Structure 1
Amino acid sequence: MAASSVILVLLAAFAAAGANAATFTITNNCGYTIWPAATPVGGGVQLNNGDSWVINVPAGTSSGRVWGRTGCTFNGNTGSCATGDCAGALACVLSGQPPLTLAEFTIGGVDGSNDYYDISVINGFNIGMDFSCSTGVNLHCGGPGCPDAYLFPTDDTKTHACSGNSNYQVTFCA
């Protein structure tokens, strides 16, 4: 009888832990190859025009970022990129080097029920991007001075809330 109670508690804990996880679909609509990267979930891939990459981000992820890298050359898992390079790694564990257009997010934010997301060009602009949440507004950044993006660190009106259990879309060259 005690073992079944433990199992029920564990199942409830696993369900609660996954309650605010998010799925990100990252799509390349550029007329050239890009190498998007994501932290802290780790990763990076090559996306040709029209290709997509799906990543799952666990609840409780704060300070997450997705960005596109350009002008990359890789031999296996090492190489370099003209923009957004992350210490020469294909699968980034560090943030990219400027200039880079950033999709930033927190999954299961401070209150635990909402996610928060924004676009930032504080560290420069390298690729146009749309960033949207299934229950929030679409953010568009087509150039360095885009009105939907953080342009300077104290630009406090650019973060948007999104209800938990949402799906996100990052589209380059939208």
Structure 2
Amino acid sequence: MATSSSSSMTLLLLVLGASLAASASAATFTITNNCGFTVWPAATPVGGGTQLNRGGTWTVNVPAGTSSGRVWARTGCSFNGNRGSCQTGDCGGALACTLSGQPPLTLAEFTIGGSQDFYDISVIDGFNVGMAFSCSTGVGLVCRDSGCPDAYHNPNDVKTHACGGNSNYRVTFCP
């Protein structure tokens, strides 16, 4: 049988744990289409996708603790409701992607962590749309073509950047 002081300590630890979990914030991704054509941005593992006309913006909240996240533009898409296909970046015909896209695709990759986030651009799986990717407190990356010096071209490149934990991000297609 628990004593009153051990019950109070257990309750205090539970409240403290709940408070810490509640204080873990999400990162907000603001995704903008500056291309002269419609793109269908996708985001995993947050299970997202939408149609984004020229000049349009899509906001995605990514929970703290999200690892191996990706954002990319799909092009040449045709959807009927939630099903369809895209010429680049297709994710199994789904409007709201839960799978990674098929090459070629320019990727914004991220991990939203505790005290530090990490982010990069990758063209390892090809290049389909120019992209700028930045966090509120870090280096801005710009990739306008397949030879992009700011992007990973192979897995051994060292192109990952750090940012303050749970920062906000901007992804711009056709910067």
The alignment's TM-score, normalised by the length of structure 2, stands at 0.90
1:120-140: per-residue Cα shift (whole Å, max 9, x none)? 000100000000000001000
**Structure-2 change in CA distance of 1:7 and 1:63 (3 Å):** closer
Q: Distance in 1 between matches of 2:12 and 2:155?
A: 49
Question: How much does 1:5 deviate?
Answer: 4.9
Q: What is the aligned partner in structure 1 of residue 19 from structure 2?
A: 12
Q: Distance in 2 between matches of 1:43 and 1:70?
A: 15
- Within 5 Å, which residues of 2 pair with 1:134-153? 134-153=136-155
Q: Distance in 1 between matches of 2:144 and 2:36?
A: 15
Which residue, out of 76, 80, 95, partners 1:75?
80
Q: Calculate percent identity across the aligned residue pairs.
A: 72
Q: Secondary structure at the match of 2:22?
A: helix
Q: Which amino acid aligns with 1:58?
A: P
Q: What is the aligned partner in structure 2 of residue 168 from structure 1?
A: 169
Which residue, out of 29, 41, 47, partners 2:46?
41
- Within 5 Å, which residues of 2 pair with 1:1-174? 5=12, 8-9=15-16, 11-16=18-23, 18-19=24-25, 21-108=26-113, 112-156=114-158, 158-174=159-175
Q: Distance in 1 between matches of 2:61 and 2:174?
A: 22
Instruction: Report if aligned partners of 2:44, 2:71 keep a CA contact under 8 Å in 1.
Output: yes
1:82-141: per-residue Cα shift (whole Å, max 9, x none)? 000000000000000000000000000xxx310000000001000000000000010000
Q: Secondary structure at the match of 2:19?
A: helix
Q: Secondary structure at the match of 1:82?
A: coil
Structure with greater Cα Rg? 2
Q: Which amino acid aligns with 2:101?
A: G
Q: Distance in 2 between matches of 1:131 and 1:44?
A: 18
Q: Distance in 2 between matches of 1:7 and 1:107?
A: 24
The CA RMSD measured in Å over matched residues stands at 1.7
Give ranges in structure 2 of 5+ residues lacking alignment: 1-6
Question: How much does 1:153 deviate?
Answer: 1.1
